[in-house]
Amino acid sequence: MEKFLLKNIDNPNSKDVNEYIKTEGYKAISKALELKPSDIIDEVRRSGLRGRGGAGFPTGMKWSFAAADPKKPKFILCNADEGEPGTFKDRPILEKNPHLLIEGMIISGYALQAEYGYIYLRGEYPRAKDILKDAIKQAHDKGYLGDNILGKGIRFHLHVHQGAGAYICGEETALIESLEGKRGQPRIKPPFPVNEGFLSKPTVVNNVETLANIPYIMEIGAEAYSKIGSPDCPGPKLYSVSGHVKNPGVYELPMGTTLRDIIYAHCGGIRDNKKLKAVIPGGISTPILSPDKIDCPMDFVNMPKHGSMLGSGAVMVFDETVDLAKVCLRAMKFFEHESCGKCTPCREGVGWMRAILERICNGSGNEKDIELLTEVSKNIIGKTFCPLGDGAASVVQSFIKDFRQEFEQHISKEAGKEIKAAA
């Protein structure tokens, strides 16, 4: 299918505003500004677009909540924290197609009657920061941003705000806290950001990819858009594929493309023709899948039916050589490091799981450890303040469920040694 989100990224100057305009860029704005804000929201609702940040929340609905709140000013925040390990799908938009995002934000701003937008960009993308700043300046000079957009008296100001290395700040309320210059710990919900977000004002937080879809919807219309990919969560989707495939990278495919197609048809299969051992389909906080599950369509609706989640669409492919216990341990180290520390189960429990896994991996674990690990994960799941802790625990559970032997190996290996020593 023709690319939209990754349109002309092969063009080395794609980030330049004129290049963007050459390929129909900023057309959608003029189109949108003809419509009433409420019509745009309605269009987005009918398009069936669902948030690409991971939760898959219907974007049109989120917008209508914020639009309905009388408080002013309103804010639109772009979530460019892209912290989910395995995910690098937003990066090409940010670095190669920044004007697509900016255009999407301007339209969103107008639709929401929000005069201020911030792009919360992860600190780990220093290059994207400079690119976005330049792009914003260009857009300004062209009259797409500012106090009188395209002479229509519409106001929208956009700034880049750089995070500083905290995965939790991808969570929308933590993101808002962080933007307010506080420790990035999640807030109690309700109230939801759409009513009390940034500086307690109505705030919409959307993922980069979500916002990048807006111009497309404006361009081809809700009808056409809703026919792309899975019926109940349509649209183009960016899948970032990493690990042992021949051609890793970011792929723009219709939502609902199966894992198998992604891995074999698009990424050329497993490299060195090794065997596929496992796949993490949606970023490290989504449950790991065994090869027998890869025929499931990668979308918000079908993945849960197969025991995992679409998450950020970050497909991590492991061939037969990979030691999954070590992968699990590394994942836990990540969650322990990134826990914001607010709630007990995540702060204390995740570290505990890491410790047990460490034990197992360095060969000093025993049979009971796998049960203990399961116990601890049970005490975390469903009891944490935000999904981070839950994610960590469900990951461990999924590893144990489908790949128990990977852990047992380390344990019995050790046992075996002991016997030799005894002899």
Partner 1 sequence: MITVTINGKKITLEKPVTILKAAEIAGIKIPTLCHHDMLEPYGGCRLCLVEIEKMPRLQTACTQYVTDGMVVWTETEKVVEARKGVLEFLLINHPLDCPYCDKAGECDLQDLVVKYGPATGRFAEGKRTHPESYDDPIIVRNMERCILCARCVRMCDKVQGASAISITNRSSKSFVEPFSGGRYNCEYCGNCLTVCPVGAIMSRLHKHAYRPWLIEKEVDTVCSFCGVGCSLTLQVRGNSIVRAVPKIIGSLGKGLNKGLLCNRGRFGYDYVGSTNRLDSPLIRKDGKLERATWSEAFSYIANRLKKIKETYGSNSIAGIASGRCTNEDNYVFQKFMRVVLGTNNIDSVAGFAYAPAQKFFESIFGQGVTANPMHGIANSDGIFVIGGDPTSVNPVLGLQVRAAHQKGVPVITSGYMQGLKMFSSKSLIPNPFTETTLLASLLTGLMKERPFCGLNSAFEKIIRDIQPVEIKEAEEICGITSKDISYAIDTLSVMTNPSIIIGRDILQRAEGHTNLLLLAALIYLLNGRIYLLSELPNEQGLVDMGCLPDTLPGGRPVTVDIFRKRYEEFFGVEIPSRSGLSLMEMIDAAHANKIKAMYVMGEDVVSNVPNTKHIKDALSKLDILVVQDIFMTETANLADVVLPSLAWAEKKGSYTNLERRMQMLGKAVDGKGMDDWQAIAEVSRMLGFDMDYKDSGDIISEIAKVSPLHKDISYEDMADGECMWPYKGEPLRHGMSIEGIEISKFEIRKSKIGNRVYIGIDNPLFHAESLSRNSAALHSIAPETYVRISKVLARELSIANGDYVTIATNSGSIELSAQIDSDLPENIVLIPNNFDGKGVFTVMNWKMNTVIKSPAMDFTEAVIKKVAHVSKEATIMN
Partner 2 sequence: MLSEKAVVEINQIKGRYHDAQSSLLPTLYVVQREHGWLSPDAVEAVGDLLNVPKAAVKGVSTFYSMFRHKPMGRHLIQLCTNVACMIMGAERLVDILKSRYGLKPNSTTEDGRFSLVIMECIGACGTAPAMLVDTDFHDNLTEQGIVDILENYK
Ligand X SMILES: Cc1cc2nc3c(=O)[nH]c(=O)nc-3n(C[C@H](O)[C@H](O)[C@H](O)COP(=O)(O)O)c2cc1C
CA–chain centroid gap for 169, Å, is: 12
The smaller minimum CB distance to partner 2, of residues 27 and 333, is found at: 333
Could you say whether residue 121 binds ligand SF4 (CB under 6 A)?
no
Q: Which of residues 57-96 bind partner 2 (CB under 8 A)?
A: 73, 82-88, 91
Could you say whether residue 395 binds ligand SF4 (CB under 6 A)?
no
Neighbours of 364 (CB within 10 A): 12
Backbone angles phi, psi at 288, to 5 degrees: -80, 145
Among 28, 29, 41, 179, binds partner 2 (CB under 8 A): 179
Could you say whether residue 219 binds partner 1 (CB under 8 A)?
no
Q: Which does 188 bind (CB under 5 to 8 A by kind): ligand X, partner 2, partner 1, none?
A: partner 1
Q: What is the DSSP string of 158-172?
A: EEEEE--S-GGGGSH
> Do 380 and 350 contact (CB within 8 A), yes or no?
yes
Residue where the block lists tokens 């963007």: 20
Q: Which of residues 197-236 bind partner 2 (CB under 8 A)?
A: 199
The smaller minimum CB distance to ligand SF4, of residues 15 and 122, is found at: 122
Could you say whether residue 52 binds ligand X (CB under 6 A)?
yes
How far is residue 41's CA from residue 372's CA, in Å, rounded to a whole number?
A: 49
Could you say whether residue 385 binds partner 1 (CB under 8 A)?
yes
Could you say whether residue 171 binds partner 2 (CB under 8 A)?
no
Could you say whether residue 276 binds partner 2 (CB under 8 A)?
no
How far is residue 415's CA from residue 423's CA, in Å, rounded to a whole number?
A: 13
Could you say whether residue 389 binds ligand X (CB under 6 A)?
no
Smallest separation, CB 168 to ligand SF4 (Å): 5
Q: Report H helices in 165-245.
A: 172-179, 193-196, 208-226
Could you say whether residue 192 binds ligand X (CB under 6 A)?
no
Among 154, 389, 402, 403, binds ligand SF4 (CB under 6 A): 389
Distances (CA, A) of 287 to 184, 397, 404: 25, 8, 14
Which region among 4-12, 327-335, 343-351, 385-393 touches partner 2 (by CB under 8 A)? 327-335
Among 7, 122, 237, 306, binds partner 2 (CB under 8 A): 122
The smaller minimum CB distance to ligand X, of residues 94 and 270, is found at: 94
Could you say whether residue 237 binds ligand X (CB under 6 A)?
no
Helices then strands, each counted (H, E), the chain: 17, 9
Q: The sheet that has 203-207: what strands, in order across it?
A: 146-149, 154-162, 116-121, 75-80, 203-207
How crowded is the C-beta side of 387, counted as CA atoms within 13 Å? 16
Among 113, 383, 401, 408, binds partner 1 (CB under 8 A): 383
How far is residue 304's CA from residue 325's CA, in Å, rounded to a whole number?
A: 23
Could you say whether residue 79 binds ligand X (CB under 6 A)?
yes
Could you say whether residue 342 binds ligand SF4 (CB under 6 A)?
yes
Q: Which does 266 bind (CB under 5 to 8 A by kind): partner 2, partner 1, ligand X, none?
A: none
Backbone angles phi, psi at 19, to 5 degrees: -60, -45
**Which stretches of the chain bind ligand SF4, using CB under 6 A?**
168, 186, 339-343, 346-347, 384-386, 388-389
